[in-house]
Structure 1
Protein backbone atom coordinates (compact mmCIF):
# COMPACT_ATOMS: atom_id res chain seq x y z
CA UNK A 1 0.00 0.00 0.00
CA UNK A 2 1.21 3.50 -0.78
CA UNK A 3 1.93 6.18 1.78
CA UNK A 4 -0.70 8.84 2.45
CA UNK A 5 -0.66 11.59 -0.12
CA UNK A 6 1.36 9.54 -2.61
CA UNK A 7 -0.21 9.03 -6.02
CA UNK A 8 -0.51 5.42 -7.16
CA UNK A 9 -0.12 4.49 -10.80
CA UNK A 10 -2.08 1.42 -11.89
CA UNK A 11 -2.27 -0.60 -15.07
CA UNK A 12 -5.41 0.07 -17.05
CA UNK A 13 -5.75 -3.62 -17.89
CA UNK A 14 -4.95 -5.58 -14.73
CA UNK A 15 -5.26 -2.80 -12.16
CA UNK A 16 -1.94 -3.60 -10.48
CA UNK A 17 0.31 -0.84 -9.15
CA UNK A 18 3.01 0.14 -11.65
CA UNK A 19 5.98 2.46 -11.72
CA UNK A 20 5.25 5.64 -13.67
CA UNK A 21 8.55 5.23 -15.50
CA UNK A 22 7.64 1.80 -16.89
CA UNK A 23 6.79 1.52 -20.56
CA UNK A 24 4.93 -1.82 -20.08
CA UNK A 25 3.03 -3.24 -17.14
CA UNK A 26 5.36 -5.68 -15.31
CA UNK A 27 2.32 -7.86 -14.47
CA UNK A 28 0.49 -8.20 -17.81
CA UNK A 29 2.84 -6.48 -20.30
CA UNK A 30 0.18 -3.97 -21.27
CA UNK A 31 1.82 -0.94 -22.87
CA UNK A 32 1.57 1.97 -20.47
CA UNK A 33 3.18 4.69 -22.70
CA UNK A 34 4.88 4.94 -26.04
CA UNK A 35 8.51 4.08 -26.26
CA UNK A 36 10.73 6.81 -27.74
CA UNK A 37 11.20 6.29 -31.48
CA UNK A 38 14.31 6.95 -33.50
CA UNK A 39 12.65 9.29 -35.98
CA UNK A 40 13.38 12.49 -34.09
CA UNK A 41 16.89 11.33 -33.28
CA UNK A 42 17.65 10.60 -36.93
CA UNK A 43 16.07 13.89 -38.03
CA UNK A 44 18.17 15.78 -35.51
CA UNK A 45 21.30 14.01 -36.67
CA UNK A 46 20.59 14.91 -40.31
CA UNK A 47 20.01 18.55 -39.40
CA UNK A 48 23.28 18.65 -37.48
CA UNK A 49 25.21 17.24 -40.44
CA UNK A 50 23.66 19.77 -42.84
CA UNK A 51 24.40 22.71 -40.55
CA UNK A 52 27.97 21.54 -40.06
CA UNK A 53 28.49 21.25 -43.83
CA UNK A 54 27.11 24.73 -44.52
CA UNK A 55 29.28 26.33 -41.83
CA UNK A 56 32.52 24.60 -42.79
CA UNK A 57 32.42 24.40 -46.60
CA UNK A 58 34.64 26.83 -48.62
CA UNK A 59 33.00 30.05 -49.70
CA UNK A 60 31.60 30.14 -53.20
CA UNK A 61 34.17 32.17 -55.12
CA UNK A 62 31.64 33.05 -57.81
CA UNK A 63 29.48 34.72 -55.16
CA UNK A 64 32.18 36.37 -53.04
CA UNK A 65 34.76 37.38 -55.65
CA UNK A 66 32.66 39.09 -58.30
CA UNK A 67 34.72 42.26 -58.22
CA UNK A 68 37.99 40.32 -58.44
CA UNK A 69 36.77 38.33 -61.44
CA UNK A 70 35.69 41.50 -63.21
CA UNK A 71 39.10 43.06 -62.50
CA UNK A 72 40.94 40.04 -63.90
CA UNK A 73 38.73 40.09 -66.98
CA UNK A 74 39.74 43.73 -67.65
CA UNK A 75 43.42 42.99 -67.04
CA UNK A 76 43.37 40.02 -69.37
CA UNK A 77 41.75 41.91 -72.23
CA UNK A 78 44.24 41.54 -75.04
CA UNK A 79 45.86 44.38 -76.93
CA UNK A 80 44.50 42.92 -80.15
CA UNK A 81 41.01 44.02 -79.12
CA UNK A 82 42.19 47.66 -79.28
CA UNK A 83 44.26 47.40 -82.48
CA UNK A 84 43.18 49.26 -85.61
CA UNK A 85 43.01 47.26 -88.83
CA UNK A 86 46.22 48.79 -90.23
CA UNK A 87 48.24 47.70 -87.18
CA UNK A 88 46.91 44.14 -87.41
CA UNK A 89 47.85 44.00 -91.09
CA UNK A 90 51.33 45.29 -90.28
CA UNK A 91 51.94 42.65 -87.61
CA UNK A 92 50.68 39.87 -89.87
CA UNK A 93 52.96 41.06 -92.67
CA UNK A 94 56.06 41.21 -90.46
CA UNK A 95 55.39 37.74 -89.07
CA UNK A 96 54.75 36.29 -92.52
CA UNK A 97 58.14 37.50 -93.74
CA UNK A 98 59.72 36.28 -90.50
CA UNK A 99 58.40 32.78 -91.21
CA UNK A 100 59.68 32.99 -94.78
CA UNK A 101 63.09 34.14 -93.58
CA UNK A 102 63.35 31.20 -91.20
CA UNK A 103 62.87 28.89 -94.19
CA UNK A 104 65.53 30.44 -96.42
CA UNK A 105 68.51 28.30 -97.40
CA UNK A 106 71.15 30.94 -98.02
CA UNK A 107 71.97 34.65 -97.92
CA UNK A 108 70.82 35.17 -101.49
CA UNK A 109 67.32 34.11 -100.59
CA UNK A 110 67.46 36.24 -97.44
CA UNK A 111 68.39 39.33 -99.46
CA UNK A 112 65.58 38.86 -101.99
CA UNK A 113 63.06 38.28 -99.20
CA UNK A 114 64.13 41.49 -97.48
CA UNK A 115 63.58 43.41 -100.73
CA UNK A 116 60.11 41.94 -101.02
CA UNK A 117 59.27 43.01 -97.48
CA UNK A 118 60.60 46.50 -98.22
CA UNK A 119 58.23 46.84 -101.16
CA UNK A 120 55.31 45.56 -99.11
CA UNK A 121 56.00 48.01 -96.27
CA UNK A 122 56.44 50.91 -98.69
CA UNK A 123 53.04 50.09 -100.16
CA UNK A 124 51.40 49.82 -96.74
CA UNK A 125 52.87 53.07 -95.39
CA UNK A 126 52.71 55.50 -98.28
CA UNK A 127 52.01 58.34 -95.83
CA UNK A 128 54.26 56.93 -93.06
CA UNK A 129 51.81 58.19 -90.37
CA UNK A 130 49.75 55.97 -88.09
CA UNK A 131 47.06 56.78 -85.55
CA UNK A 132 45.80 55.07 -82.40
CA UNK A 133 48.11 52.06 -82.48
CA UNK A 134 48.50 50.18 -79.21
CA UNK A 135 51.33 48.42 -77.42
CA UNK A 136 53.24 47.95 -74.18
CA UNK A 137 56.05 50.19 -72.97
CA UNK A 138 59.23 48.11 -72.60
CA UNK A 139 61.76 50.92 -72.21
CA UNK A 140 61.40 54.48 -70.96
CA UNK A 141 64.61 56.36 -70.15
CA UNK A 142 66.48 59.62 -70.73
CA UNK A 143 69.82 60.69 -72.15
CA UNK A 144 72.29 63.07 -70.51
CA UNK A 145 70.25 66.05 -71.72
CA UNK A 146 67.06 64.70 -70.13
CA UNK A 147 65.33 63.88 -73.41
CA UNK A 148 63.35 60.65 -73.36
CA UNK A 149 63.83 57.49 -75.36
CA UNK A 150 60.85 55.20 -75.69
CA UNK A 151 60.28 51.64 -76.89
CA UNK A 152 56.81 50.16 -77.34
CA UNK A 153 56.27 46.50 -78.18
CA UNK A 154 53.26 45.91 -80.40
CA UNK A 155 53.95 42.16 -80.59
CA UNK A 156 56.39 39.79 -78.94
CA UNK A 157 58.93 40.31 -81.72
CA UNK A 158 58.09 43.79 -83.04
CA UNK A 159 59.16 47.07 -81.43
CA UNK A 160 58.36 50.68 -82.27
CA UNK A 161 60.99 52.99 -80.79
CA UNK A 162 63.00 56.19 -80.74
CA UNK A 163 66.77 56.19 -80.79
CA UNK A 164 68.21 56.09 -77.27
CA UNK A 165 71.12 58.52 -77.77
CA UNK A 166 71.58 61.92 -79.37
CA UNK A 167 74.37 60.77 -81.67
CA UNK A 168 72.24 58.15 -83.45
CA UNK A 169 69.28 60.50 -83.36
CA UNK A 170 70.98 63.54 -84.88
CA UNK A 171 69.51 62.96 -88.36
CA UNK A 172 66.12 61.87 -87.03
CA UNK A 173 64.94 63.90 -84.06
CA UNK A 174 62.98 60.91 -82.80
CA UNK A 175 63.79 61.32 -79.10
CA UNK A 176 61.14 62.99 -76.96
CA UNK A 177 62.09 66.51 -75.89
CA UNK A 178 61.60 67.13 -72.19
CA UNK A 179 59.67 70.30 -73.00
CA UNK A 180 57.22 68.53 -75.30
CA UNK A 181 53.59 67.48 -75.01
CA UNK A 182 54.56 63.82 -75.41
CA UNK A 183 57.14 64.07 -72.60
CA UNK A 184 54.43 65.38 -70.27
CA UNK A 185 52.19 62.46 -71.22
CA UNK A 186 54.98 59.99 -70.51
CA UNK A 187 55.83 61.55 -67.16
CA UNK A 188 53.54 59.31 -65.09
CA UNK A 189 53.89 56.14 -67.19
CA UNK A 190 56.11 53.13 -66.53
CA UNK A 191 57.53 50.11 -68.30
CA UNK A 192 54.78 47.53 -68.63
CA UNK A 193 52.01 50.10 -69.15
CA UNK A 194 49.69 49.55 -72.10
CA UNK A 195 49.36 52.65 -74.26
CA UNK A 196 47.77 54.01 -77.40
CA UNK A 197 50.06 56.08 -79.60
CA UNK A 198 50.26 58.01 -82.85
CA UNK A 199 53.12 59.32 -84.96
CA UNK A 200 55.11 58.49 -88.08
CA UNK A 201 57.77 56.14 -89.37
CA UNK A 202 60.90 57.27 -91.24
CA UNK A 203 61.29 56.35 -94.88
CA UNK A 204 64.16 53.97 -95.65
CA UNK A 205 65.72 52.73 -98.89
CA UNK A 206 66.79 49.50 -97.18
CA UNK A 207 63.56 48.43 -95.46
CA UNK A 208 60.86 50.74 -96.72
CA UNK A 209 60.54 52.19 -93.22
CA UNK A 210 63.59 52.69 -91.04
CA UNK A 211 64.66 49.72 -88.90
CA UNK A 212 67.59 49.76 -86.48
CA UNK A 213 68.89 46.17 -86.38
CA UNK A 214 72.55 45.66 -87.24
CA UNK A 215 71.94 42.31 -88.99
CA UNK A 216 69.50 41.09 -91.60
CA UNK A 217 68.42 38.32 -89.23
CA UNK A 218 67.51 40.85 -86.55
CA UNK A 219 65.69 43.02 -89.05
CA UNK A 220 63.63 40.14 -90.44
CA UNK A 221 62.82 38.27 -87.23
CA UNK A 222 62.85 40.84 -84.39
CA UNK A 223 62.60 44.25 -86.06
CA UNK A 224 62.83 47.55 -84.19
CA UNK A 225 61.34 50.36 -86.25
CA UNK A 226 62.39 53.96 -85.60
CA UNK A 227 59.39 56.15 -84.92
CA UNK A 228 58.52 59.77 -84.15
CA UNK A 229 55.87 59.79 -81.44
CA UNK A 230 53.25 62.56 -81.70
CA UNK A 231 51.01 61.27 -78.90
CA UNK A 232 51.21 58.58 -76.22
CA UNK A 233 48.44 57.95 -73.71
CA UNK A 234 47.54 55.12 -71.34
CA UNK A 235 44.77 52.78 -72.42
CA UNK A 236 41.71 53.49 -70.26
Structure 2
Protein backbone atom coordinates (compact mmCIF):
# COMPACT_ATOMS: atom_id res chain seq x y z
CA UNK A 1 0.00 0.00 0.00
CA UNK A 2 2.78 2.41 0.78
CA UNK A 3 4.11 1.95 -2.78
CA UNK A 4 0.96 3.68 -4.14
CA UNK A 5 1.44 6.66 -1.82
CA UNK A 6 5.10 6.86 -2.86
CA UNK A 7 4.06 7.03 -6.53
CA UNK A 8 1.57 9.81 -5.72
CA UNK A 9 4.29 11.78 -3.95
CA UNK A 10 6.59 11.46 -6.95
CA UNK A 11 3.83 12.47 -9.40
CA UNK A 12 2.66 15.42 -7.28
CA UNK A 13 6.03 17.17 -7.44
CA UNK A 14 6.15 17.62 -11.25
CA UNK A 15 2.38 18.29 -11.28
CA UNK A 16 2.93 21.31 -9.04
CA UNK A 17 5.62 22.64 -11.37
CA UNK A 18 3.52 22.04 -14.50
CA UNK A 19 0.45 23.54 -12.82
CA UNK A 20 2.35 26.75 -12.20
CA UNK A 21 3.15 26.99 -15.92
CA UNK A 22 0.31 25.28 -17.77
CA UNK A 23 -2.55 24.58 -15.33
CA UNK A 24 -4.71 23.13 -18.15
CA UNK A 25 -2.31 20.17 -18.50
CA UNK A 26 -2.82 19.09 -14.91
CA UNK A 27 -6.51 20.12 -14.60
CA UNK A 28 -8.04 19.06 -17.94
CA UNK A 29 -11.47 18.65 -16.31
CA UNK A 30 -11.68 22.35 -15.32
CA UNK A 31 -13.46 24.79 -17.67
CA UNK A 32 -11.09 27.62 -16.78
CA UNK A 33 -8.07 26.13 -15.03
CA UNK A 34 -5.93 28.55 -13.03
CA UNK A 35 -2.43 28.33 -11.58
CA UNK A 36 -3.25 28.74 -7.82
CA UNK A 37 -5.99 26.09 -7.71
CA UNK A 38 -3.71 23.69 -9.62
CA UNK A 39 -0.78 24.30 -7.31
CA UNK A 40 -3.00 24.02 -4.21
CA UNK A 41 -4.59 20.81 -5.43
CA UNK A 42 -1.33 19.00 -6.04
CA UNK A 43 0.28 20.41 -2.89
CA UNK A 44 -2.58 18.87 -0.97
CA UNK A 45 -2.12 15.59 -2.81
CA UNK A 46 1.62 15.76 -2.07
CA UNK A 47 1.15 16.34 1.67
CA UNK A 48 -1.57 13.70 2.03
CA UNK A 49 0.42 11.12 0.10
CA UNK A 50 3.58 11.85 2.10
CA UNK A 51 1.78 11.44 5.43
CA UNK A 52 0.04 8.27 4.28
CA UNK A 53 3.33 6.89 3.05
CA UNK A 54 4.96 7.50 6.47
CA UNK A 55 2.06 5.92 8.38
CA UNK A 56 2.00 2.77 6.29
CA UNK A 57 5.79 2.43 6.39
CA UNK A 58 6.12 2.32 10.24
CA UNK A 59 4.35 -1.04 10.85
CA UNK A 60 6.36 -2.65 8.08
CA UNK A 61 9.64 -1.30 9.51
CA UNK A 62 8.64 -2.47 13.00
CA UNK A 63 7.87 -5.95 11.70
CA UNK A 64 11.18 -6.04 9.86
CA UNK A 65 13.06 -4.89 12.97
CA UNK A 66 11.31 -7.49 15.10
CA UNK A 67 12.19 -10.20 12.62
CA UNK A 68 15.82 -9.07 12.59
CA UNK A 69 15.92 -9.04 16.39
CA UNK A 70 14.45 -12.53 16.58
CA UNK A 71 16.95 -13.81 14.05
CA UNK A 72 19.85 -12.16 15.89
CA UNK A 73 18.71 -13.57 19.24
CA UNK A 74 18.46 -17.00 17.67
CA UNK A 75 21.96 -16.70 16.26
CA UNK A 76 23.42 -15.39 19.55
CA UNK A 77 21.66 -17.87 21.84
CA UNK A 78 24.35 -19.87 23.62
CA UNK A 79 24.54 -23.52 22.95
CA UNK A 80 23.38 -25.65 25.88
CA UNK A 81 26.21 -26.62 28.17
CA UNK A 82 26.98 -30.29 28.44
CA UNK A 83 25.55 -31.93 31.52
CA UNK A 84 28.01 -32.10 34.38
CA UNK A 85 28.61 -35.27 36.26
CA UNK A 86 28.28 -34.97 40.04
CA UNK A 87 31.48 -35.73 41.85
CA UNK A 88 31.89 -36.87 45.40
CA UNK A 89 33.95 -34.96 47.94
CA UNK A 90 37.52 -36.16 48.19
CA UNK A 91 38.35 -38.37 51.09
CA UNK A 92 40.25 -36.67 53.95
CA UNK A 93 43.96 -36.73 53.41
CA UNK A 94 46.14 -38.79 55.62
CA UNK A 95 47.37 -35.62 57.31
CA UNK A 96 43.82 -34.54 58.28
CA UNK A 97 43.00 -38.01 59.58
CA UNK A 98 46.18 -38.06 61.61
CA UNK A 99 45.32 -34.65 63.08
CA UNK A 100 41.83 -35.74 64.17
CA UNK A 101 43.24 -38.93 65.62
CA UNK A 102 45.88 -36.96 67.50
CA UNK A 103 43.31 -34.62 69.08
CA UNK A 104 41.12 -37.54 70.16
CA UNK A 105 44.14 -39.32 71.59
CA UNK A 106 45.12 -36.20 73.56
CA UNK A 107 41.62 -35.95 75.06
CA UNK A 108 41.66 -39.65 75.92
CA UNK A 109 45.13 -39.48 77.47
CA UNK A 110 44.16 -36.48 79.59
CA UNK A 111 40.97 -38.20 80.75
CA UNK A 112 42.90 -41.31 81.74
CA UNK A 113 45.13 -39.25 84.05
CA UNK A 114 42.36 -37.10 85.55
CA UNK A 115 42.39 -37.13 89.37
CA UNK A 116 39.15 -37.79 91.24
CA UNK A 117 38.99 -34.26 92.60
CA UNK A 118 39.01 -32.80 89.10
CA UNK A 119 36.47 -35.34 87.86
CA UNK A 120 34.12 -34.39 90.70
CA UNK A 121 34.63 -30.69 89.97
CA UNK A 122 33.72 -31.16 86.29
CA UNK A 123 30.65 -33.27 87.18
CA UNK A 124 29.35 -30.37 89.29
CA UNK A 125 29.90 -27.97 86.36
CA UNK A 126 28.19 -30.24 83.85
CA UNK A 127 25.17 -30.84 86.10
CA UNK A 128 24.80 -27.12 86.79
CA UNK A 129 24.95 -26.36 83.05
CA UNK A 130 22.25 -28.95 82.33
CA UNK A 131 20.03 -27.60 85.15
CA UNK A 132 20.53 -24.03 83.94
CA UNK A 133 19.57 -24.81 80.35
CA UNK A 134 16.51 -26.79 81.49
CA UNK A 135 15.42 -23.91 83.72
CA UNK A 136 15.74 -21.52 80.77
CA UNK A 137 13.53 -23.78 78.63
CA UNK A 138 10.91 -23.79 81.37
CA UNK A 139 10.94 -19.99 81.55
CA UNK A 140 12.62 -19.66 84.96
CA UNK A 141 13.26 -16.12 86.17
CA UNK A 142 16.61 -14.63 87.16
CA UNK A 143 16.22 -15.60 90.82
CA UNK A 144 15.94 -19.31 90.00
CA UNK A 145 18.87 -19.11 87.58
CA UNK A 146 21.02 -17.30 90.13
CA UNK A 147 20.28 -20.02 92.70
CA UNK A 148 21.66 -22.65 90.29
CA UNK A 149 24.82 -20.59 89.85
CA UNK A 150 25.26 -20.19 93.61
CA UNK A 151 24.76 -23.91 94.29
CA UNK A 152 27.33 -24.73 91.63
CA UNK A 153 29.90 -22.51 93.30
CA UNK A 154 29.22 -23.94 96.74
CA UNK A 155 29.31 -27.59 95.65
CA UNK A 156 32.53 -27.19 93.64
CA UNK A 157 34.53 -25.90 96.62
CA UNK A 158 34.82 -29.39 98.13
CA UNK A 159 36.99 -30.43 95.18
CA UNK A 160 39.61 -27.69 95.61
CA UNK A 161 41.76 -26.61 98.53
CA UNK A 162 40.56 -23.02 98.78
CA UNK A 163 40.93 -22.74 95.00
CA UNK A 164 44.22 -24.63 94.81
CA UNK A 165 44.41 -27.53 92.34
CA UNK A 166 47.20 -30.06 92.03
CA UNK A 167 48.08 -32.25 89.07
CA UNK A 168 44.86 -31.61 87.19
CA UNK A 169 44.92 -32.49 83.51
CA UNK A 170 43.68 -31.15 80.18
CA UNK A 171 44.63 -30.40 76.59
CA UNK A 172 46.66 -27.34 75.60
CA UNK A 173 44.17 -25.43 73.45
CA UNK A 174 45.57 -21.93 72.96
CA UNK A 175 48.60 -19.83 73.90
CA UNK A 176 50.44 -16.70 72.87
CA UNK A 177 52.10 -13.56 74.23
CA UNK A 178 50.87 -10.04 74.96
CA UNK A 179 52.65 -6.78 74.14
CA UNK A 180 54.88 -7.14 77.17
CA UNK A 181 56.01 -10.59 76.04
CA UNK A 182 54.19 -12.41 78.83
CA UNK A 183 52.53 -15.69 77.93
CA UNK A 184 48.83 -16.47 78.11
CA UNK A 185 47.48 -20.01 77.91
CA UNK A 186 44.19 -21.93 77.86
CA UNK A 187 43.72 -25.58 78.80
CA UNK A 188 40.50 -27.47 78.04
CA UNK A 189 39.23 -30.23 80.31
CA UNK A 190 36.15 -32.15 79.24
CA UNK A 191 33.69 -30.61 76.78
CA UNK A 192 32.84 -27.34 78.53
CA UNK A 193 35.35 -26.35 81.22
CA UNK A 194 38.62 -24.55 80.60
CA UNK A 195 41.41 -23.20 82.79
CA UNK A 196 43.35 -20.21 81.53
CA UNK A 197 45.19 -16.99 82.21
CA UNK A 198 44.01 -13.55 81.21
CA UNK A 199 45.38 -12.52 77.81
CA UNK A 200 46.01 -8.83 78.54
CA UNK A 201 47.70 -6.82 81.27
CA UNK A 202 44.65 -4.64 82.04
CA UNK A 203 42.39 -7.58 82.93
CA UNK A 204 45.27 -9.23 84.78
CA UNK A 205 46.01 -6.35 87.17
CA UNK A 206 44.51 -8.10 90.21
CA UNK A 207 44.99 -11.76 89.25
CA UNK A 208 48.61 -11.70 88.08
CA UNK A 209 48.03 -14.79 85.96
CA UNK A 210 50.15 -13.91 82.91
CA UNK A 211 53.35 -15.94 82.71
CA UNK A 212 56.61 -13.91 82.57
CA UNK A 213 59.44 -14.98 80.31
CA UNK A 214 61.76 -15.77 83.21
CA UNK A 215 59.29 -18.34 84.57
CA UNK A 216 60.01 -22.09 84.30
CA UNK A 217 56.43 -22.47 83.03
CA UNK A 218 57.28 -20.20 80.08
CA UNK A 219 60.28 -22.39 79.28
CA UNK A 220 58.12 -25.53 79.44
CA UNK A 221 55.44 -24.08 77.16
CA UNK A 222 57.89 -22.94 74.47
CA UNK A 223 58.42 -26.47 73.18
CA UNK A 224 54.84 -27.72 73.44
CA UNK A 225 52.56 -27.84 70.38
CA UNK A 226 48.86 -27.19 70.70
CA UNK A 227 46.63 -30.18 71.52
CA UNK A 228 49.29 -31.55 73.84
CA UNK A 229 47.85 -33.32 76.90
CA UNK A 230 49.24 -31.53 79.97
CA UNK A 231 49.22 -31.75 83.76
CA UNK A 232 48.93 -28.47 85.67
CA UNK A 233 48.80 -27.07 89.19
CA UNK A 234 47.87 -23.63 90.47
CA UNK A 235 45.20 -21.54 92.15
CA UNK A 236 41.79 -20.62 90.71
CA UNK A 237 41.33 -16.88 91.30
CA UNK A 238 38.47 -15.81 89.02
CA UNK A 239 36.08 -16.75 86.22
CA UNK A 240 36.32 -14.88 82.93
CA UNK A 241 32.77 -15.07 81.53
CA UNK A 242 30.95 -11.77 81.05
CA UNK A 243 27.47 -13.20 81.68
CA UNK A 244 26.01 -15.58 84.22
CA UNK A 245 24.85 -17.84 81.39
CA UNK A 246 28.38 -18.13 80.03
CA UNK A 247 29.81 -18.68 83.50
CA UNK A 248 27.49 -21.62 84.16
CA UNK A 249 27.31 -23.26 80.74
CA UNK A 250 30.93 -22.81 79.59
CA UNK A 251 33.06 -21.59 82.50
CA UNK A 252 36.56 -20.23 81.90
CA UNK A 253 38.45 -20.30 85.17
CA UNK A 254 41.37 -17.92 85.62
CA UNK A 255 44.31 -19.74 87.16
CA UNK A 256 47.63 -18.54 88.52
CA UNK A 257 49.61 -21.55 87.33
CA UNK A 258 52.48 -22.93 89.39
CA UNK A 259 53.34 -25.66 86.88
CA UNK A 260 52.36 -26.91 83.43
CA UNK A 261 54.04 -30.01 81.99
CA UNK A 262 53.25 -32.53 79.26
CA UNK A 263 51.78 -35.90 80.18
CA UNK A 264 54.24 -38.58 79.14
| Structures share fold, TM-score greater than 0.5 | yes
Report what 1:231 is aligned to. 259
Shift of 1:76: 7.7
Report what 2:128 is aligned to. 97
TM-score by length of 2: 0.57
TM-score by length of 1: 0.63
Matched, 1:149 2:206: no
Matched, 1:219 2:247: yes
Q: Kindly indicate whether the alpha-carbon contact (under 8 Å) linking 1:163 and 1:175 is maintained by their aligned counterparts in 2.
A: yes
Gaps of 5+ in 2: 1-101
- SS of the equivalent of 2:203 reads helix
Distance 2:249 2:228 in 1: 24
Compared with structure 1, are the counterparts of its residues 135 and 76 closer, same or farther at alpha carbon in structure 2 (3 Å cutoff)? closer
1:208-231: CA deviations, max 9, x gaps?
Answer: xx2110011100100000001111
Compared with structure 1, are the counterparts of its residues 76 and 143 closer, same or farther at alpha carbon in structure 2 (3 Å cutoff)? closer
Shift of 1:149: 0.2
Gaps of 5+ in 1: 1-70, 203-209
1:59-113: CA deviations, max 9, x gaps?
Answer: xxxxxxxxxxxx9x97684422100110100111100101110111222211111
Report what 1:172 is aligned to. 207
Distance 1:178 1:78 in 2: 29
Q: Kindly indicate whether the alpha-carbon contact (under 8 Å) linking 1:140 and 1:190 is maintained by their aligned counterparts in 2.
A: no
Structure showing greater Rg:
2
Compared with structure 1, are the counterparts of its residues 120 and 170 closer, same or farther at alpha carbon in structure 2 (3 Å cutoff)? same
Trace 1:93-132 onto structure 2 (pairs within 5 A): 93-104=124-135, 105-132=140-167
Shift of 1:161: 0.4
Report what 2:44 is aligned to. none
Compared with structure 1, are the counterparts of its residues 77 and 224 closer, same or farther at alpha carbon in structure 2 (3 Å cutoff)? closer
Distance 2:185 2:175 in 1: 5
Report what 1:84 is aligned to. 115
Q: Kindly indicate whether the alpha-carbon contact (under 8 Å) linking 1:136 and 1:195 is maintained by their aligned counterparts in 2.
A: yes
Distance 1:74 1:100 in 2: 30
Distance 1:157 1:186 in 2: 23
Question: Which is strand-richer, 1 or 2?
Answer: 1
Question: Which is helix-richer, 1 or 2?
Answer: 2
- SS of the equivalent of 2:239 reads coil
Q: Kindly indicate whether the alpha-carbon contact (under 8 Å) linking 1:212 and 1:226 is maintained by their aligned counterparts in 2.
A: yes
Compared with structure 1, are the counterparts of its residues 131 and 145 closer, same or farther at alpha carbon in structure 2 (3 Å cutoff)? same
Distance 1:77 1:111 in 2: 34
